[in-house]
Structure 1
């Protein structure tokens, strides 16, 4: 990303904002949200909108928009990458850069549960709504559903997610739901429970949202090493499942191995990965993306 690229993005936004809608209408859409192989590799980049900027040991890694866009464009150019997940500001930058043709676009919907906030479980829908997703011609919407059994702020999030699932289905669009059972530790920090029982419970709650599950996909973390424990979790549903990449780890080889195991399970249709591929140890975005694509 050169300074001239950044100036052009800002210049267009300031003087010709209607250009974004024009480019969305003209975007060449993929034949399937899964891509030609029937297996998806979606690059996720909706973390900044929730104030979650950390990647690995760097607390503000995703705060540099030019660097993030450079990494996203590198990833989206690679064979095997089928789509991207993001908020309006990021997806519109990618539209202006011409990076979204033939890629499935999933719009991030609820980003109101800011990282570290006292109200974090109250995941308000502060991003895309169903009408906007359909108007822009995107392939679907994604929502985060963290269930805190001891926090009554979970209830409005459940209701809002159910409405979004129903609305997306009525529009014939994918509803990608990312469910967790979450609780606060003694330090007050909200953490997702990645035990088999908790992951299974969260999955079953998410799968039943809305007045139809015909267009619902689940976005779930890899439990354990991706083998027997993950099979037990996914035995609870027949819905298409995409594996969540999660945090950047110090041992990417172990991460890739766990993904490979989980990808063999019958309901798994691909990967949705953000920081693990965009900010890999050593910084080789192309190498990390190509390795992930190879697993498919």
Structure 2
């Protein structure tokens, strides 16, 4: 289990700081200890915490698992303290809480940008940029900006999202920081968005995402582990991080799939949220340590 590194008193202090000294957020960004994007082995393990901003609070059978900010922060701080964890992906509210807690020193920080496609909304595929802008990512010294890109050919919201992502890729490259694209080929069924996770659909999504923006020099991909992943990865030379998804299978099977996928040349690591922060066994540190060993081979 987590060891309660963040509790009610910490949340009270965060709220007091936000109420009385909001300028400390900017000061903390300015004073944060930075690090190179990649460690010596050229691989990354990032923890993802941008789900709540889309209203996606569920983990497995628990629809409100991520609703408690104190619990989420406790799990994130536990994960970030483990050796081999390179950094975190999140929205401004979560990252600023971690920043004020001192948990982002010497860590890779990637800001989540388009969170307007709320889970279950009629406009879900018109995924507006409602969090970080490319300008803010560069100004604050973040290491990159992440975008979700779901392409459904029968929904006009997709083309607006495509255009916005292309613009952000160009602007992030102008700032010389990573543009992390998470693409899916999607369909709308009974009013709900479903991502197609077969290899052909993922290849199409990868090809479309790879061509966005005026340059791909700083573009990375964030992709799910799917069957025939080698064929998907053969569709791109862009460095790729694999996402963990909702932990619905046996942990041993999940870890085995990650281990096999990490052997592919374009794969440079993992970006995992719920599978590490809310593991079935309940031990965040243990789950994170397994992932860190898979990514870094016990060298970090």
RMSD: 0.8
Q: Secondary structure at the match of 1:85?
A: strand
Q: Secondary structure at the match of 1:141?
A: strand
What whole-Å deviation, never above 9, does each CA across 1:208-234 have from its counterpart, x for those lacking one?
10000000000000012xxxx000011
| Equivalent pairs, count | 290
Structure-2 residue corresponding to 1:263: 262
TM-score normalized by structure 2?
A: 0.95
Q: Secondary structure at the match of 2:66?
A: helix
- C-alpha displacement at 1:259, in angstroms? 0.6
Equivalent residues of 2:7, 2:74 under 8 A apart: no
Give distance in 2, aligned partners of 1:265 and 1:38: 14
Give distance in 1, aligned partners of 2:35 and 2:85: 12
1:160 paired with 2:159, answer no
Structure-2 residue corresponding to 1:233: 232
TM-score normalized by structure 1?
A: 0.97
- C-alpha displacement at 1:94, in angstroms? 0.3
What whole-Å deviation, never above 9, does each CA across 1:54-97 have from its counterpart, x for those lacking one?
01111001110000000000000011100100000000000000
- Uncovered stretches (5+) of structure 2, i.e. residues with no partner: 1-5, 296-300
- C-alpha displacement at 1:36, in angstroms? 3.9
1:57 paired with 2:56, answer no
Q: Secondary structure at the match of 1:37?
A: coil
Structure-1 residue corresponding to 2:298: none
- C-alpha displacement at 1:184, in angstroms? 1.6
Equivalent residues of 1:249, 1:255 under 8 A apart: no
What whole-Å deviation, never above 9, does each CA across 1:93-143 have from its counterpart, x for those lacking one?
000000001110000000000000010000000000011111111101000
Give distance in 2, aligned partners of 1:230 and 1:2: 41
1:15 paired with 2:20, answer yes
Give distance in 1, aligned partners of 2:40 and 2:102: 20
Flag as ranges the 4+ runs of structure 1 deviating above 3 A. Answer: none
Q: Secondary structure at the match of 1:62?
A: coil
